[in-house]
Amino acid sequence: MQNWITLLTEFKSKQIPVALITVTKCLGSTPCVVGSRMIVTKDKHIHGTIGGGKLEYKAIDEAIIALKENRIIESNYTLGPEFEQCCGGKVEFIIEPMNQSPELFLFGAGHIGVEICKLLVDTPFKINLIDSRENWFKNIEFDKSITTHQTSETDFKTFKEAVKWGSNSYILVLTHNHAIDFDIITMALQNETKFLGLIGSKTKKVRFNNMLIKEMNIPEGMTNVVCPIGIDIGGDTPKEIAISVVAQLLQTHYKNE
């Protein structure tokens, strides 16, 4: 495929998720050569080719899985009757999903929230720190990679608009107000996320669970919410709690790779 580096650069600049398929081995008679490449988008638009036919259809289907699960896939196929081809060769290829970095939306720029954001700098995560308190970010210094959002407690719409929902969306709720926590959790449960976590005690979890079921008609309650957040490593200072939470986020991200 010609100009595939240019194409990948364009997709990256527009943050369009794509899967890059690269042929890594060819044995016998095959319709492609080592180094053949093809780019596949989520809506199955393709750029380039790895030989066409059923082999390419199979690769496209696997590329969609790689994008959906955000993981690298290695495959190999023998080109026999199943592929309506008689060449009998074998093709191996790797599929790499791209432009699907995990993105954290952290509600609550308190001591723990700020420490979490600092620790996540230089990791795969894009970081968004959100707070509704007026002028709250004025005197806090952040790394330039961290994006801050000033929302409004009285305009609930601003909470929803601050988040890019989807399979790469990680939500942490650590605000200064339990009522706001509950509103954000309710909102998040009605949208797609990869990880949804709430800071708080087991008592808070039970209370929110009952409210979600009885008041918000969400039958699963807190089943899909991680609460308390963080890996149990001990320590109760803001930085120690932040370390435990960051470890949990990274564990969730890397377990599918």
For residue 2, pLDDT over 70 is answered with no
Pairing outcome for strands 126-131 and 90-98: unpaired
Length of the chain: 257
Number of H-type helices and E-type strands within the chain: 7, 10
CB under 8 Å, gap of 24 or more: what pairs does 36-45 form?
36/1, 37/1, 37/4, 38/1, 39/1, 39/4, 39/7, 39/8, 39/11, 40/64, 40/67, 41/16, 41/17, 42/17, 42/18, 42/67
The arithmetic mean of pLDDT across residues 33-60, rounded, is: 92
Q: What is the pLDDT of residue 159?
A: 77
For residue 257, pLDDT over 70 is answered with no
Model confidence over 216-244: pLDDT tens digits? 999 999 999 999 999 999 989 999 999 99
Burial 78-88 (b: 16+ CB within 10 A, else e): ebeeebebeee
Model confidence over 115-156: pLDDT tens digits? 999 999 999 999 999 998 888 888 888 899 999 988 876 665
H/E stretch holding 188: helix 178-189
Banded model confidence at residue 13, pLDDT cuts 50, 70, 90: confident
Amino acid at 137: F
CATH class of the region 103-254: alpha beta
Q: What is the pLDDT of residue 83?
A: 60
For residue 161, pLDDT over 90 is answered with no
Q: What is the pLDDT of residue 87?
A: 61
Q: What is the pLDDT of residue 212?
A: 97
Are 62 and 95 contacting, i.e. CB atoms less than 8 angstroms apart?
Answer: yes
For residue 81, pLDDT over 70 is answered with no
Q: What is the pLDDT of residue 114?
A: 95
Banded model confidence at residue 82, pLDDT cuts 50, 70, 90: low
3 state DSSP class of 251: helix
Q: What is the pLDDT of residue 30?
A: 87
For residue 47, pLDDT over 60 is answered with yes
Domain ranges of the chain: 4-98, 103-254
Model confidence over 175-218: pLDDT tens digits? 999 999 999 999 999 999 999 999 999 999 999 999 999 999 99
Q: What is the pLDDT of residue 130?
A: 93
